[in-house]
Structure 1
């Protein structure tokens, strides 16, 4: 695979969440040279990362080839595609298709990510169970999946991608959060896809890509290095509130 960048692009991330693995997946698929700057969730609001992203959220990138520093995974996607996908392998140069790729990326950022994230929060991290909140966000997850199902079902069998007749960065952006659906909805994997055969087939095509498998191998290694459980908590920590207290105590000790 061709390596486009002369110097490695630095990717700042904490390994547990889905969003950091969006740019890693894209970098792997494009064959770009990169290096991961992995750090603990405890430090997202501290230096040096807070100077990279004042919002204190991962991922962020620094590209020494252009001098560009960016945060927000959607902005990172658009940058990498515009700067490095010069052969339009994961996008199009035609007006309609190019903008429809961006349309789906915005839907992923505004629809899938926030609703899936809120559903996961109320399922696993909120200090008390609020059935109405869980129901609301579970329904929104289903609604988002239903939008995708309707669009993919209307496509010819040989071209069931969001835009045109090939996989684009728009399709790829949905993979990390869709891969967490059993955690988000707290349902067995097969049950999640009831009524969603086209979304399931679309997702499962992409998770078989070598680029995705390499990304997840790196995630597993980094999770192990930090001693993290599947939910991102350090081993022995049972709730987000307990984790917050550990972070607070560590900060006091550091000062």
Structure 2
């Protein structure tokens, strides 16, 4: 009998939910060790991952402790996706899947993250940095829109781990770009928009949203990651500025 994998995570960030989505898709049992983002650089988590980034997993079935979401996804696929539900075993497709996973890890994740940081979280507004990362986000979306032309999925004829790796960050794009309420930041990229909606309709993602919402609520956070009681991004920026001033 498969023992549950422990997943260490802080609920607000997108990266852990890539891993949880894959676990849900493959129906691998897991338990979540949820903690606050403020503690990501402190013990006991720093003893799990010296880099102080989530997620990390501990798999009692193989006695493996592993961090970096891309590496975890590849591990889960190799060990637990024995029916190739989210992958292919043919040479070309295997490497194409890894190509897109690396694109997500080196492109989408870092650039969406930096855009969100400089747009909403950084204590000082730096127009040159904001301009750089906003443009990079749109460039990356343009690449995906081109790749997905006349295609349902990135590789082959089914949803794979490569597709799902992009899912959580795409759901946070409005926060990164500070998209006005009611607007879809993916609307200018119809292929990406349709692809995203296909992934969001999957049972695994609906379960992820339920789990994430519960963990966010436990930490006094709204589903969008903003503390309860704060209604707008402007209020959130003011809250962050006040907190940074108090630390000085």
* 5+ long unaligned stretches in structure 2: 231-235
What is aligned with 1:52? 48
- Residue 146 of structure 1: CA displacement? 0.6
What is aligned with 2:209? 216
Please give the secondary structure, in 1, of the residue aligned with 2:85: coil
Q: Once the two structures are superposed, what CA deviation does each residue of 1:51-109 show, in whole Å capped at 9, x if it has no partner?
A: 10000110000000000111100000000000100111100000010011011000000
Give 2:38's match in structure 1, choosing from 42, 54, 57: 42
What is aligned with 1:253? none
Please give the secondary structure, in 1, of the residue aligned with 2:8: strand
What is aligned with 1:65? 61
TM-score of the aligned structures, taking structure 2 as reference length: 0.91
Question: What CA distance in whole angstroms lies between the structure 2 residues aligned with 1:44 and 1:244?
Answer: 18
Coordinate RMSD, CA, aligned: 2.0
Q: How many residues align?
A: 240
Q: Once the two structures are superposed, what CA deviation does each residue of 1:158-211 show, in whole Å capped at 9, x if it has no partner?
A: xx1101111100000000000011111112464523431111000001111111
2:177 counterpart of 1:185: yes
Alpha-carbon distance change, 199 to 233 in structure 1, aligned in 2, over 3 angstroms? closer
Check the 8 A contact 1:233/1:240 in 2, yes or no. Answer: no
Give 1:6's match in structure 2, choosing from 2, 21, 43: 2
Please give the secondary structure, in 2, of the residue aligned with 1:153: coil
Give 1:150's match in structure 2, choosing from 127, 134, 146: 146
- Residue 232 of structure 1: CA displacement? 3.8
Q: Which segment is superposed worse, 72-81 or 229-238? A: 229-238
Q: Which segment is superposed worse, 223-232 or 92-101? A: 223-232
Question: What CA distance in whole angstroms lies between the structure 1 residues aligned with 2:70 and 2:55?
Answer: 10
Structure 1 residues 5-24: aligned runs within 5 Å = 6-24=2-20
TM-score of the aligned structures, taking structure 1 as reference length: 0.88
- Residue 241 of structure 1: CA displacement? 5.5
What is aligned with 2:159? 167
* 5+ long unaligned stretches in structure 1: 250-255
Give 2:21's match in structure 1, choosing from 19, 25, 32: 25
